[in-house]
Homo-oligomer: A and B are copies of this chain.
Amino acid sequence: VSLITFTTDFGTRDWFVGTMKGVALGINARATIVDITHEIPSGDIRAGAFALAGSFQFFPTGTVHMAVVDPGVGSERKAIVVRTKSEFFVGPDNGVLSWALARTPAIAIHSVENPRYFLNPISRTFHGRDIFSPVAAHLSRGVAIHKFGPRVKHIEHLPWPKAEIKAHRVMGEVVYVDRFGNAITNIEAESVAAANQIKGKVFLRGKLLCSIASFYGSVRKGLPVAVFGSSGFLEIAVNGGNAARQFRIKAGASVAVKYR
């Protein structure tokens, strides 16, 4: 397998992503490139980190995951390449890789410095095309990660807003709103005992909103419901509707689960 994924905020309206693919395929013509998304809100490192952390584990061993949400492009921030047990990550050292690495520990981290693996010349504004994409392509061909630059000990980590587990309740918050308007929280299925997962009541900003259920369709159309979703986290949804719009939910909104 020679699989590369792209997670960026470049959008698909312009030619940016296309040129990144051209560069990568010029280096590894046999690579298969999969877009995770290019619709990360511009410069939103947390959203990029969450998208990557929710998807990398569904790819086969050896996949190279490139994540470029890089508001500091051109400044002094480092570029890094990371090897874990099953995959590789490439991106700017600004935390965008850190939530994925919280789920699978880094075995080795190297700084990306060797211009031999870059496009020549490199631009000052588009390292996705000129540095990250060619590095990902070389990785997918089997170039060892120490070739890209010296070992790095410390990298940037985004703080993860950990849910608080108390007696009979879990206190958390919304971390991501998806395109359906589902509000994904930081409350993991494991934090609520299985028996209580279907008896739990869900509070949004301190007010009772709904119960936990097994699937969206378990309530009538237009009503709110909370389910442990495909990402493993509790999600607030509206059956056939848009919970974020209906209840004005944004990332950061407090959510609690209470049960007996």
B73 touches A26 (CB 8 A): no
Majority DSSP secondary structure for residues of A touching B? loop
Q: Is A179 within 8 A of B13, CB to CB?
A: yes
Decide: A5 and B22 in contact? CB cutoff 8 A: yes
What number of copies of this chain does the assembly contain? 3
Interface residue A180 (Cβ < 8 Å from any Cβ of B): yes
Contact with B along A47-62 (1 / 0, CB 8 A): 0000110110011100
A12 lies within 8 A of B25 (CB): no
B residues near A55, Cβ cutoff 8 Å: 15, 18-19, 22
A77 to chain B, nearest CB (A): 9
- In the assembled complex, how far is the CB of residue A188 from the closest CB belonging to chain B, in whole angstroms? 13
9 pairs of residues in contact across A and B, judged by CB atoms under 8 Å: A12-B39, A18-B37, A22-B55, A25-B59, A43-B240, A73-B215, A75-B215, A124-B215, A125-B227
Residues of A within 8 A of B (CB): 1, 3, 5, 7, 10-19, 21-23, 25-26, 29, 32, 34-39, 42-43, 51-52, 54-55, 58-60, 63, 71-75, 123-126, 129-130, 178-180, 214-218, 227-230, 235, 240
